Amino acid sequence: MINKDIDDCLLPNTNRIDRYLAFIERAGNKIPDPAILFFWALIITWCLSAILSNISFDLINPRTGEAVIVTNLLTGKALAYFLANMVTTFTGFAPLGLVLVSMLGVGVAEASGFITTALKKILSIMPSRLLTPMLLLVAILSSIAGDAGYLLIIPLGGVLFHAAGRHPLAGIAAAFAGVSGGFSANFFPSSIDPLLAGFTQTAARLLAPDYIVNPLANIIFTSVSPLLLVAIGWYVTEKIIEPRLSQTPIGHQDEKPDLGTISELESKAFRYACWALMAGIALLIAAVIPDSSALRSAAGEITGSSAPLMRSIVPLTFILFIIPGYVYGKITGKFKSSNDIVGAMSDTMATMSLYIVMSFFCSLFLAAFIHSNIGTMLALYGAEFLKALNLPSQFTVVSVIILTSGVNLVIGTSSAKWALLAPVLVPMLMAVGISPELTQAAYRVGDSVSNIISPMLVFFPLVVRYCQRYHKSAGIGTLVSLMMPFSLAMLIGWALFLLTFWALGIPLGIQAPYSYTM
């Protein structure tokens, strides 16, 4: 029956890879709408929590030092708590606010025509053959700005490819691969570096009380990795994804952006809009430069996770889109009054209605899943299984990557996963001569490459929505089938890259002057 389903999906000349990807897409799209999927996932989580709460697990939570106990979510008290907190669970769902605030600003810039003109300018100077690698590189580097890549780069990828006469889903897939699959690769340090290093150091001190893990312990590896991932993503996009999409129609509701000439008025408006944007950026830089700046953290950091600047990325994005959008719209006559600006925002919010519905059910499911402790139980059992295998060092490192990729499918937050896994994996691998820094690097690889196929990623429903702009029937299966080649290629290529670093003795980053030996 399965083979028949596969064959039914295929064109006569498709190869075996295309067959399985087509099957994944077809099977995945038979899954209900993501909102309904999250609803049933919530029901299943409730039922599993009631069953598993009666079982004693021989596991200790390394974060609390207490036994892992699955919480029964079907008790009267738990259900009352669920109902009492349903509204705040939804409104407190972090991606919801990030997405909506950013889209308000993007909507104004888009309705004014500023974004369309900017795309014309970009495409007029960028060789079409370099569009894919440039998009991938920008997407990978966007992680330094937190979640901005999900909100801006991924939809921009679709628009850029569409404007260049290429399939927009390929642009969305390439951008998603860079933003999320390459999350741990960057030329520059980001807030995730000290966060993970803190957990790694705490775990290492279970065996070596004085061990110090530098926040930049992986900086050399992560700063070279973007070049590798761009090459992998470039190949996958143009050799696998775009040929597969050649038979996929683009929805008529999203016409191809006009690539005609730019009028003199549009050029003038664009020039003034860019000046206004640069003035806004200059004011922001001037506000950040003083050591006493309110946008710096208490320690004077600009990029630290506690720095107000880093926590204000989304509001700043909103402002930096509003400014050029307003200026461009006023000069071209698109915005004749403030009502036109409000109308642009309203139209944008109307396009986000499906995402808001999905976010409602997604927020309830994720909250229940975390509260149940089922994810914690699965993560710790996976680590124990890896320990029991007692594999050679190279296989152990690869196993850490694969384990992390698997755990990423049930626990979406990077810091939460490492807080659970580090106390088990770091000391275990130290005992067989694998440094904490290498274990952390392996974790970062595994944590990144499976993001793009994990429905547990909080932005996954949003990316599905981006796809539906160009292909109405797109669903979870469509997105997973698009991203699977990226995920597998990045997993293999990046893992081999890490093993090469280790085999050649290339430092992963800046290590503290301390070494541990058994």
Q: Is residue 13 part of a domain?
A: no
Residues 308-327 have pLDDT tens digits of: 887 787 788 788 889 999 99
Output the pLDDT for position 191.
59
- Which value, to the nearest 10 degrees, does the dihedral of the CA atoms of residues 334, 316, 313, 222 take? 70
Quick check: 359 and 461 in contact, CB under 8 A?
yes
427-431 contacts, C-beta under 8 A, 24 or more apart: 427/203, 427/204, 427/206, 427/207, 428/383, 428/386, 428/387, 429/396, 429/400, 430/204, 430/207, 430/208, 430/516, 430/518, 431/207, 431/518
CA distance 499 to 160: 35
d(Cα 238, Cα 153) in Å, to the nearest integer?
A: 19
Helix (H) or strand (E) holding 108, with range, is: helix 94-112
What sign results for the dihedral spanned by CA atoms 346, 347, 353, 355? negative
Q: By residue range, what is the domain housing residue 338? A: 30-504
Q: What is the pLDDT of residues 22-56, one digit of tens each?
A: 655 555 555 566 677 778 888 998 999 999 888 88
204 within domain boundaries: yes
Residue 254 lies in a domain: yes
DSSP code for 70: P
Q: What is the pLDDT of the chain when averaged over all its residues? A: 80
Question: Is residue 518 a part of any domain in this protein?
Answer: no
Q: How many residues does the chain have?
A: 518
Predicted local distance difference test score (pLDDT) of residue 5: 40
Measured CA distances, 443 to 130, 218, 255, 405 (Å): 31, 11, 42, 8
Q: What is the total count of domains within the chain? A: 1
Q: Residue 60: beta bridge partners?
A: 67
Quote the CA–CA distance of 272 and 372 in Å, as a whole number: 54
In sequence order, which ranges of 373-413 are alpha helices (DSSP H)?
374-389, 393-407
Whether residue 189 lies inside any domain: the answer is: yes
What is d(CA 357, CA 239) in angstroms, rounded to the nearest whole number? 36
User: Would you say residue 515 lies in a domain?
Assistant: no
- Residue 258, H or E segment: none
Which residues have a Cβ under 8 Å from the Cβ of 119 and sit 6 or more positions away? 159, 160, 163, 257
Identify how many contiguous H helices and E strands the chain contains and give both numbers.
25, 0
CA–CA gap between residue 501 and residue 442 (Å, rounded) = 12
Q: Is residue 5 part of a domain?
A: no
Ranges of residues in the chain with a pLDDT under 70 are 1-34, 61-64, 94-95, 119, 123-124, 144-148, 190-191, 206-207, 251-260, 303-305, 375-376, 378-379, 382-383, 386-387, 410-416, 419-420, 423, 431-432, 511-518
Tell whether 517 is covered by a domain: no
CB of 474 closer than 8 Å to CB of 467: yes
